[in-house]
Amino acid sequence: MASPLHPGFRKPFTKKRRVIMLLLTDKRFFRPDEVARMLALSRRTIYRMIRDGRLQAVKWGSGPWRIPRESLRELLPPDSPEI
């Protein structure tokens, strides 16, 4: 068994990952950079997906794009964990 100080040791849920999981359960809309991190894509790809219509997003006034949770669910396979 690897010790907590061993470089190969990984905790199943780090503090950062727990915070992200909590945000996912509470948030209805996400910023493009948050979605990029969740899907392991670049922000540029997320903006391209919005422009192409592959990812539904809304823009309130002159503010940044927001991506609803429901449009993220449509991207994921049916057997994936809940967002």
Give the pLDDT score at 66. 95
Q: Note the pLDDT tens digit of each residue in 38-78.
A: 888 999 999 999 999 999 999 988 888 999 988 888 877 77
Which letter does DSSP use for residue 80 in this model? S
The Cα–Cα gap between 49 and 71 comes to 11
Give the pLDDT score at 3. 46
Q: Which fold has domain 15-75?
A: Arc Repressor Mutant, subunit A (1.10.10)
Is pLDDT at 15 greater than 80 in this prediction? no
Q: CA 7 from chain center: how many Å?
A: 26
Give the pLDDT score at 43. 95
Q: What is the pTM of this model?
A: 0.64
Q: Classify strands 58-59 and 65-68 as parallel, antiparallel or unpaired.
A: antiparallel
Higher pLDDT, 75 or 80: 75
